[in-house]
Chain A
Amino acid sequence: MNVVMHQVGAPGFLHRFEGLRDRLPGGRLPWLATLRAQAAEAFRAQGFPTRRVEAWKYTDLAPVAEAGFDEPLTPMDDAMDLPPAQAGARAVFVDGRFRADLSSLDGLPFEVSSVARHLDALEGRLGALARPGEEPMAALNTMLFEDGLLLDLPEGVEGGVLELLSLATASERPSAFHPRHLIRLAKGAKLTLIETATGPEGARYLHNPVFEVEVAEGAWLTHGRLQQEAPRAFQLSTIYATVAAGGTYDNFTLNAGGRLVRNEIHVTLTGPGAACHMNGAQLLAGDQHADTTTALDHAAPSCASRQTYKTVLMGRSRGVFQGKILVRQVAQKTDGYQMNQALLLSPEAEMDSKPQLEIYADDVKCSHGATVGELDAEQVFYLRSRGIPETQARAMLVQAFLHEAVEGVTDEALRRALDAAVEGWWARQEETLAA
């Protein structure tokens, strides 16, 4: 009798890479084979980081490292149950693979395609920003990615709104997928990308996406991320973005789903007048753990960055915010702002935050703040004294708490999607509380 041993954790992934390397997309492209081999070495050296690694001090990946993951076995015959579309155009990925048959991309003023189908044209671009040597999850992604969204907005194009739907399927054993998304906006181009990540209730999987985003001079990318993964899922995402002179990268991330989630964003402002907004809300309950880690590199003068993150914690959930702002010597007239606030709705919930400023220029304006608090009893009483029932009063104050992060979202489609996601989350919590 044969006993199949499933290796777990990092060795499991390395083992799979050894077995699959020639069959992975682009396996015959020498540059890509080299890139993957280097990433495998980096991942072998680092493995899944433990909490002894400074960047992972507050997030324990043991549940991921101890689980065994298979390749996703996407059922092809079942009809897919897609959530309603957030915008007209939608690119659909199932278990990390592009599904043209499920996508609706007609009438867009630019081309949307799949990384897997264009790998021979991506030498020098794929991997230009990601740093597998420093971020082990990017190493794992580079080693095993199969597909991803490939977006190129030509100069001056108004791209409108595009939704990126990432859907996981349920399978007997946990699966892992590592999409690599490449997004490039040429000079003056503009796009709102709304990314929704979700999966069926009982599904167990690791979704490990890496984004490489290039925003050219005067271009503007609004990148909304609605993370609503299945309750037992892991999502560890890493975004690398560069913003040229006068360009804007505007990221809003909602962390509402998943069992263990990390949202890591590295942005480099490379030209004068570049701007970056990073806002987000983490809505956590039960045993959820969500980590937002940002690293903002002011590498050019007269750039502005704004970060506002709000975390609401219920149950025994844990929230993490780590935010680093690096202002290089050349980056005079930098205007940086970072605010991170948490609202604890349960005595067992916990929040860790670590702001970090590293400033080498002398003419800069940089501020940061962090608060952790509970709902104000006086405010709750004021609302109740006006006849508003306690649960509704608390809901109003939680929404008010999130308001500052959410009000920065000016894109209408994204704002609608976000409001719906926040309301849905709150309704689920009320059901849980009422039960």
Chain B
Amino acid sequence: MLKIEGLTATVDGKPILKGIDLEIPSGEVHAVMGPNGSGKSTLAYVLAGREGYEVTGGSATWDGHDLLSMEPEERAAAGLFLAFQYPVELPGVGNATFLRTALNAIRRARGEPELDAMQFLKLARQRMRELSMPEDMLKRSVNVGFSGGEKKRNEILQLALLRPKLAVLDETDSGLDIDALRIVADGVNAMRGPDFAALVITHYQRLLDYIVPDRVHVLMNGRIVRSGGPELAKELESEGYAAIQARAA
């Protein structure tokens, strides 16, 4: 269970999150929707522990772990995964090396044996086939020269390999055509189960046609202003954020 209570955070001294309360039980997928600048990405980065995002109040716990006091790598080891809105390019770091290093770091943390190069390749190739990714993406530098869709698929490949218990997907749908969107959604849906929770951050309802959430929350101006079932996403799509804002105000 992810439990966020009264979470406030600033970026460059500017308040962005102004008191977030949110609970996601294991086995559920929740969507957070909101207009640009509402604090969606800040929420994702605060949960993952990025520098420069200062928590000024409140708490966030995952299965009893105090997430906010942990290093980013400790959060990952505890089962948290952030799919980046803008996956970072790492020139000179081979994708295979990156994926295997990450997987083995997580496996070490879980007390599982590390995979050697051959075992890793076998597993990676299988996951890549499931995501319709060409195999040469293993040989290239991480995200360098990848199209927008390839970068997002590479994030989902990491999700599929690392098998986190809590995934935060930060606008994973942005820049994807419909085929890529379907592949990405299939990747996420394949993870669903009683031991998996996800926070899907998105601007548009489109992604939620493919990853159907259990709950939808509307984030505006650093606060969750409405929560509801999947139908809330449809309402937003037809009425727009302005109407919600007017009603919430």
Contacts and interface: CB of A to CB of B under 8 A. Distances in A.
Interface of A: 377-379, 381-390, 392-393, 396-397, 399-404
Given A379-B88, A381-B72, A387 B93 contact: no
B88 A400 contact: no
Interface in B47-80: 48-51, 71-73, 75-77
A403 B92 CA distance: 6
Interface stretch (B33-41, B100-108, B188-196, B231-239): B100-108
A387 B105 contact: yes
A378 B89 CA distance: 9
Given A381-B50, A381-B51, A390 B71 contact: yes
Nearest to A406: B92
Contacts of B49: 384-385
B173 to A, nearest CB: 20
A392 B101 contact: yes
B91 interface: yes
B73 A390 contact: yes
Contacts of A401: 92
B90 A382 contact: yes
Contacts of A388: 73, 101-102, 105
A186 to B, nearest CB: 38
A388 B51 CA distance: 16
A388 B72 CA distance: 9
Contact of B162 (A387, A389, A404): A387
Interface on chain A toward B: helix, strand, loop, or mixed SS? helix
A404 B50 contact: no
A404 B82 CA distance: 29
A386 B91 contact: no
B115 interface: no
B92 A389 contact: no
Contact of A378 (B76, B88, B158, B162): B88
Kindly name the residue among A381, A396, A401 whose own CB sees the greatest number of chain B CB atoms within 10 A.
A381
11 contacts: A379-B88, A381-B72, A382-B87, A382-B90, A383-B102, A385-B76, A388-B73, A389-B105, A392-B101, A393-B73, A396-B93
B204 interface: no
B84 interface: yes
A392 B105 contact: yes
Contacts of B71: 384, 390
A386 B105 contact: yes
Contacts of B51: 377, 381
Kindly name the residue among A384, A390, A392, A401 whose own CB sees the greatest number of chain B CB atoms within 10 A.
A384
Kindly name the residue among A383, A393, A397 whose own CB sees the greatest number of chain B CB atoms within 10 A.
A383
Contact of B90 (A390, A392, A400): A400
A198 B120 CA distance: 38
A382 B105 contact: no
A396 B71 CA distance: 18
Contacts of A377: 51
Contact of A387 (B90, B97, B106, B141): B106
B99 to A, nearest CB: 9
Contacts of B76: 384-387
Given A386-B76, A403-B91, 10 more contacts: A378-B88, A379-B88, A382-B87, A382-B88, A382-B90, A384-B73, A386-B105, A387-B105, A389-B73, A396-B98
- Please classify how large the interface on chain B is, using the bins under 10, 10 to 19, 20 to 34, 35 or more: 20 to 34
B208 interface: no
A67 to B, nearest CB: 39
B153 to A, nearest CB: 16
B121 interface: no
B109 interface: yes
B50 A396 contact: no
Nearest to A376: B88
Instruction: Please provide the 7 A-B residue pairs with the shortest distance between their CB atoms, ordered closest to farther.
Output: A400-B92, A403-B92, A387-B76, A386-B102, A382-B88, A384-B72, A387-B105
Given A379-B88, A400-B92, A403-B92, A387 B77 contact: yes
Contacts of B84: 382, 385
Contacts of B77: 387
Kindly name the residue among A385, A388, A399, A400 whose own CB sees the greatest number of chain B CB atoms within 10 A.
A385
A396 B158 CA distance: 18
A155 to B, nearest CB: 40
A393 B90 CA distance: 11
B221 to A, nearest CB: 26
A386 B82 CA distance: 8
A389 B108 CA distance: 11
Kindly name the residue among A379, A383, A386, A400 whose own CB sees the greatest number of chain B CB atoms within 10 A.
A386
A382 B88 CA distance: 7
Interface string B158-199: 100010000000000000000000000000000000000000
B212 to A, nearest CB: 27
Contacts of B98: 383, 386, 396
A389 B72 CA distance: 9
Contact of A385 (B82, B90, B101, B109): B82
A377 B98 CA distance: 17
Interface in B101-131: 101-102, 105-106, 109
